Amino acid sequence: MRAKQLSVFIENKKGHIASLALAIKNMGIDIRAISVFDTNEFGILRLVVDDPEAALTAVREAGYAAKISEILAAEIADKPGALYEIFQLCDDNDINIEYIYSFVMKSDVKPLIIMKVDKMDEASELFESKGIRVVGAEELYAK
């Protein structure tokens, strides 16, 4: 099971994130998770939203370069060492983690990690075989 995220190339200047968030808000789209990886001049804003296609249109119309990419959303135990187990599982199976960030949905639900890996199908099957639940798009985008 895979989900989608929106990746936006954005200048590292005051007001750009607010402008982008306004474009998404004006389309009635809910931002579920966000991360920013930056350099001095530019950054990549990654968003999990409840309607990735509409968000892509909104941010492009606002003048931003953006794309949709597939991600894995894996439910992890809320305990010490849970992330290590995921990392080691990937390492043992020659799966490279390109990036990762966390996503907390509700207080009664286990935390999720959002991952981009080089072998998406293998990672998804591996996680499920080891009892690590991979969350699908329907659940990830649900309100």
Give the other-Cβ count within 10 Å of 19's Cβ.
14
Tokens of 70: 């597939």
Q: In angstroms, rounded to a whole number, what is the distance separating the alpha carbons of residues 97 and 119?
A: 9
Indicate the average pLDDT of the chain: 87
Return the axis-axis angle of helices 82-92 and 120-129, rounded to nearest 10°: 120
Q: What is the pLDDT of residues 88-131, one digit of tens each?
A: 999 999 999 999 988 765 555 667 878 888 998 899 999 999 98
Query: Is 114 buried (19+), middle (13-18) or exposed (0-12) by CB count in 10 A?
Result: buried
CA dist 74 to 3, 29, 47, 102, 120, Å?
A: 10, 23, 16, 10, 12
Res 18 pLDDT > 80? yes
Give the other-Cβ count within 10 Å of 62's Cβ.
16
Domain ranges of the chain: 3-70, 72-141
Position 87: which residue type?
A: F
* Confidence (pLDDT) at 17: 87
HSE toward the beta carbon, residue 135, CA cutoff 13 A: 21
* Confidence (pLDDT) at 108: 59
Domain 72-141 has CATH 3.90.1150.10: no
Provide the 3-class DSSP secondary structure of residue 106: coil
Q: Which of 7-21, 57-71, 126-140 has maximum average pLDDT?
A: 57-71
Q: Which of 40-44, 51-55, 109-113 has maximum average pLDDT?
A: 51-55
Domain 3-70 has CATH 3.40.50.1820: no
Residue 128 backbone phi and psi in degrees, to 5: -60, -40
User: Model pTM?
Assistant: 0.78
Q: What is the mean pLDDT of residues 3-28?
A: 90
Same fold flag, 3-70 and 72-141: no
